[in-house]
A and B are shown apart, each in its own frame.
Chain A
Amino acid sequence: DAGITQSPRHKVTETGTPVTLRCHQTENHRYMYWYRQDPGHGLRLIHYSYGVKDTDKGEVSDGYSVSRSKTEDFLLTLESATSSQTSVYFCAISPQGVSNQPQHFGDGTRLSIL
């Protein structure tokens, strides 16, 4: 299995609080991605990174920010959490942005915002 660790695995918090999710990889892959998965919507890309300090927005980036200060870590931050951000969040990694390299996923973080 690809060496991807997401933390925390579960979190319950209140509306308006900041939340940071961490994705850690041991594969030294260049690309890292954050997705959210909701019923009826499938996996939707929030942000991705193609190198240290190089990030770009995905389809549903509003309300989220990311940082990547080291190759192995990609952080997703909800500055002021809202109930609409209750979801399952997956991190994924890929060796490089070429067309025949698949992504591999972490185990996910289940986030509930009350």
Chain B
Amino acid sequence: QKEVEQNSGPLSVPEGAIASLNCTYSDRGSQSFFWYRQYSGKSPELIMFIYSNGDKEDGRFTAQLNKASQYVSLLIRDSQPSDSATYLCAPYTGNQFYFGTGTSLTVIP
């Protein structure tokens, strides 16, 4: 059983602050890691992915990966109310994506 653990939240941050979302995974064979955002009642949409140890930045988003610790995180800088959503972590292993249950983020104006 491949486990993906995320803090379910809810995580609340004030507008303009940095939101930090964390994810741990059990399968050391996981090669790539994807972050999806899901608004209530909508389908998941890709934010970014990372497959090398270290940081990867895309606009206000930074993904961080530490394979030795089996840990991946997503930082959202200058958080906006429109960032309020559930964020899903998804490691990829063996033709399959394994999803965590997601972290609910609320950005308070």
Residues of A within 8 A of B (CB): 31, 33, 35, 40-45, 48, 50, 56, 58, 90, 92, 97, 99-100, 102-108
Q: Does B17 have its Cβ within 8 Å of any Cβ on chain A?
A: no
The answer to whether B49 touches A100 (Cβ under 8 A) is: yes
The answer to whether A107 touches B43 (Cβ under 8 A) is: yes
By DSSP majority rule, is chain A's interface helix, strand, loop, or mixed?
Answer: strand
The answer to whether A103 touches B43 (Cβ under 8 A) is: no
Known pairs A42-B101, A45-B97; A105 contacts B43 (CB<8 A): yes
Query: A38 — nearest CB in chain B belongs to which residue?
Result: B101
The answer to whether A90 touches B97 (Cβ under 8 A) is: no
Residues of A within 8 A of B72 (CB): none
Q: Does B57 have its Cβ within 8 Å of any Cβ on chain A?
A: no
From A43, A44, A99, A104, contact of B51 by CB (8 A): A99
Residues of B within 8 A of A43 (CB): 44, 88, 90, 99
12 examples of A-B residue contacts, CB within 8 angstroms: A35-B99, A41-B101, A43-B44, A43-B88, A44-B99, A100-B32, A100-B51, A102-B34, A102-B46, A103-B34, A108-B42, A108-B43
